[in-house]
Amino acid sequence: MDIFKEIRPLKAFLESSKRDSDSIGFVPTMGALHQGHLSLIQASKRENAKTICSIYINPTQFNNPDDLAKYPKTLARDIELLTDVGCDVLFCPENKEMYSVEPRLKFDFGSLERVLEGKYRPGHFSGVALVISKLFHIVSPNKAYFGQKDFQQFKIIEQLVEELKFDVSLRCMPIERESDGLAMSSRNTRLSAEQKEKATTLYKCLLLASNLIKDGHTMDSIRKKIESIFLKVDGIKLEYFELANTTNLMSLKYVADKSSTAILLIAGYVGEVRLIDNLLLTDEN
Which residues are known catalytic residues? Answer: 37
User: Rule CB under 6 A: is residue 134 a binding residue for ligand AMP?
Assistant: no
Residue 258 Cβ vs ligand AMP, minimum distance, rounded to whole Å: 26
Task: Tell me which residues in 1-40 interact with ligand AMP (CB under 6 A).
Answer: 29-30, 36-37, 39-40
Residue 270 Cβ vs ligand AMP, minimum distance, rounded to whole Å: 16
Instruction: Indicate which single residue of 185, 188, 201, 210 sits in contact with ligand AMP (rule: CB under 6 A).
Output: 185
User: Rule CB under 6 A: is residue 78 a binding residue for ligand AMP?
Assistant: no
User: Rule CB under 6 A: is residue 274 a binding residue for ligand AMP?
Assistant: no
Residue 70 Cβ vs ligand AMP, minimum distance, rounded to whole Å: 14
Instruction: Indicate which single residue of 51, 60, 186, 210 sits in contact with ligand AMP (rule: CB under 6 A).
Output: 186
Cβ-based nearer residue to ligand AMP, 173 or 226: 173
- CA angle in degrees (0–180, nearest 5) for 198-200-285: 155
Residue 234 Cβ vs ligand AMP, minimum distance, rounded to whole Å: 25
User: Rule CB under 6 A: is residue 144 a binding residue for ligand AMP?
Assistant: no
Stretch that binds ligand AMP, among 72-80, 84-92, 178-186, 202-210 (CB under 6 A): 178-186
Own/partner pairs for 73-81, CB < 8 Å, 24+ apart?
73/31, 73/32, 74/31, 74/32, 74/33, 75/31, 77/33, 78/31, 78/32, 78/33, 79/1, 79/3, 81/33, 81/38
Instruction: Indicate which single residue of 147, 152, 155, 210 sits in contact with ligand AMP (rule: CB under 6 A).
Output: 147
Instruction: Indicate which single residue of 150, 213, 219, 266 sits in contact with ligand AMP (rule: CB under 6 A).
Output: 150
Q: Please work out the total of residues on this chain that contact ligand AMP, with binding judged by CB under 6 A.
A: 17
Burial class (CB in 10 A: 0-12, 13-18, 19+), 276: buried
User: Rule CB under 6 A: is residue 51 a binding residue for ligand AMP?
Assistant: no
Residue 224 Cβ vs ligand AMP, minimum distance, rounded to whole Å: 28
Binding site for ligand AMP (CB under 6 A): 29-30, 36-37, 39-40, 146-147, 149-150, 173, 175-176, 183-186
